[in-house]
């Protein structure tokens, strides 16, 4: 394995260990500060806006100045915002930390571009899922430890400990080296990407799919605490099952072809929604969170799918466009979830299953055709 890819994986493992301590309790801490479900949905939507604003610029800059400076900036900003949440003494201050933390997702396009460049003999899908799995391996024990600490010492203590762990993750990422330079004679690559009908279609499918898969997730911790009466420690155990599922599914299915893995991930999230709605015991809720791993699998495989539709010189910008589509979906989905939750908490999951089913049917009809057309175009380019 490439040394730099190993460093990214190690940093992501450590980041997962830190973020895993608090991420499953984020909406519960907002609730403790006095936010209702609709306000929480609005705050999460605001975080999505923060995520969306810088995805394209970050991807564009990654192609122009390199991925490392942007990755370093994101890690530093993420650590600073975690400390802002940890030291917050009011809802506005905590929300500011949440929004800035969401802003740091601009790292996704440059980081995925960096991973793709450093993959060596691995396929893009394998390299991307490996690093993502490293994050989730780090996050396996975080929710359980975080829930236990929260019950004994409060969530503020959890955030402080998590922020300390993130400092170590940031220290590791500072040692990554430059990716190899790729020489591309095309000067019109950026403009050509926007005229690439197959890629634009994939971006639209990405928005629809991520919206469907994220809809049942955002308010689930509140649902489990308020409607199923689970403790923070129990929710932490469920979060551990989710991280374990993410790591296992990404490692096992990451070697499949990108179209197959992308399609498999969607019904897994449908099972998550079903088990949250109909589940009556801790093991069933944990199994549901295990299946939520389909969301992460789809997110990784979208990037792998895109790689086959674009020119290598467009990788950063293309990934930025896809992450923008992801972020816009993350803006809209929590807002709808908040409205549905206020009408009836279980309505979130019933509507989600319908939307996921429709998205799955749409993807089955379009994704294989996109891939076949891409292979045909590539063959024609080789012949010419």
Mean pLDDT of 286-297: 93
SS3 at position 335: helix
> How do residues 96-135 score in pLDDT, each as one tens digit?
998 899 888 888 888 988 998 888 888 877 888 889 889 8
pTM: 0.76
For residue 382, the model assigns a pLDDT of 40
* 169 part of a folded domain: yes
In a domain, 367, yes or no: yes
Backbone dihedral region of 182: left (phi > 0), alpha (psi from -120 to 50 degrees) or beta? beta
The predicted structure's pLDDT at residue 169? 97
Q: What's the CA gap between 208 and 212, in Å, rounded?
A: 6
Q: For the chain, give me the number of helices (H) and strands (E)?
A: 19, 0
pLDDT digits (tens, 9 = 90+) for 337-376: 989 999 999 999 999 999 999 999 999 999 888 877 655 5
- Whether residue 240 is contained in a domain is answered as yes
pLDDT of residue 271: 97
Range of the domain at 75: 3-174+196-383
More confident residue, 24 or 337: 337
The total of structural domains in the chain comes to 1
Confidence of residue 269 (pLDDT cuts 50, 70, 90): very high
What is the average per-residue pLDDT within 170-183? Answer: 83
Label residue 58 by pLDDT band (50, 70, 90): confident
Q: Which of 140, 174, 164, 129 is nearest to 264 (CA)?
A: 129
Residue 305: Cβ-neighbour burial (10 angstroms; 0-12, 13-18, 19+): buried
351 occurs within a structural domain: yes
322 falls in which pLDDT band (50, 70, 90)?
confident
Give the pLDDT confidence score for residue 66 in this predicted structure: 84
**pLDDT value at position 384?**
43
Do the Cβ atoms of 68 and 178 come closer than 8 Å?
yes
Task: Find tokens 């929004």 and name the residue.
Answer: 99
Closest CA to 302 of 207, 196, 216, 218: 207
The answer to whether residue 182 is domain-embedded is no
Measured between alpha carbons, how far is 231 from 8 in angstroms, rounded to an integer?
Answer: 34
> What is the CATH number for 85?
1.20.1250.20
8 Å CB contact between 303 and 312: no
Work out the percent of the chain whose per-residue pLDDT is above 90.
42
In a domain, 349, yes or no: yes
pLDDT digits (tens, 9 = 90+) for 137-151: 888 888 889 888 988
Report the alpha-carbon distance of residue 160 to residue 173 in Å, rounded: 21
* Cα end-to-end span (Å), the chain: 35
Domain contains 189: no
Establish if 289 belongs to a structural domain. Answer: yes
pLDDT, mean of residues 56-60: 80
Quickly state the pLDDT bin for 317 (edges 50, 70, 90): confident
- Give the Å distances, CA to CA, from 111 to 141, 245, 259, 328: 25, 23, 22, 19
């Amino acid at each position: 394995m490439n040394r730099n890819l190993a460093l990214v994986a190690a940093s992501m493992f450590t980041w997962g260990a830190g973020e895993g301590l608090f991420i499953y309790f984020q909406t519960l801490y907002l609730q403790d500060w006095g936010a209702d479900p609709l306000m929480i949905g609005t705050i999460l939507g605001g975080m999505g806006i923060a995520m969306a604003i810088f995805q394209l610029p970050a991807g564009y800059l990654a192609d122009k100045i390199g991925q490392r400076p942007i990755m370093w900036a994101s890690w530093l900003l993420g650590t600073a915002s975690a400390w802002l949440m940890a030291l917050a003494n009011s809802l506005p201050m905590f929300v500011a930390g949440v929004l800035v933390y969401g802003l740091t997702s601009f790292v996704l396009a440059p980081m995925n571009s960096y991973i793709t460049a450093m993959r060596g003999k691995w396929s893009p899908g394998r390299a991307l899922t490996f690093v993502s799995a490293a994050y989730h391996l780090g996050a396996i024990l975080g929710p359980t430890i975080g829930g236990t600490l929260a019950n004994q010492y409060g969530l503020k203590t959890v955030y402080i400990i998590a922020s300390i762990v993130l400092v170590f993750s940031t220290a590791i990422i500072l040692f990554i080296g430059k990716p190899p330079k790729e020489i591309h004679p095309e000067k019109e690559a950026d403009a050509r990407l926007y005229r690439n009908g197959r890629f634009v279609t994939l971006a639209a499918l990405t928005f629809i799919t991520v919206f469907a898969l994220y809809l049942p997730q955002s308010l689930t911790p509140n649902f489990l605490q308020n409607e199923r009466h689970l403790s923070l420690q129990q929710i932490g155990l469920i979060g551990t099952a989710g991280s374990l599922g993410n790591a296992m599914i990404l490692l096992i299915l990451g070697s499949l072809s990108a179209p197959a893995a992308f399609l498999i991930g969607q019904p897994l999230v449908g099972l998550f929604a079903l088990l949250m709605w109909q589940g009556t015991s801790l093991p069933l809720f944990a199994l549901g969170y295990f299946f939520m791993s389909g969301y992460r699998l789809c997110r990784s495989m979208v990037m792998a799918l895109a790689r086959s539709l674009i020119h290598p010189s467009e990788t950063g910008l293309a990934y930025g466009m896809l992450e923008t589509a992801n972020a816009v979906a993350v803006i809209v989905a929590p807002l709808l979830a908040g409205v549905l939750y206020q009408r009836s908490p279980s309505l979130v999951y019933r509507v989600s299953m319908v939307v996921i089913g429709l998205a799955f049917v749409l993807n089955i009809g379009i994704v294989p055709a996109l891939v076949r057309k891409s292979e045909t175009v590539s063959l024609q380019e080789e012949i010419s």
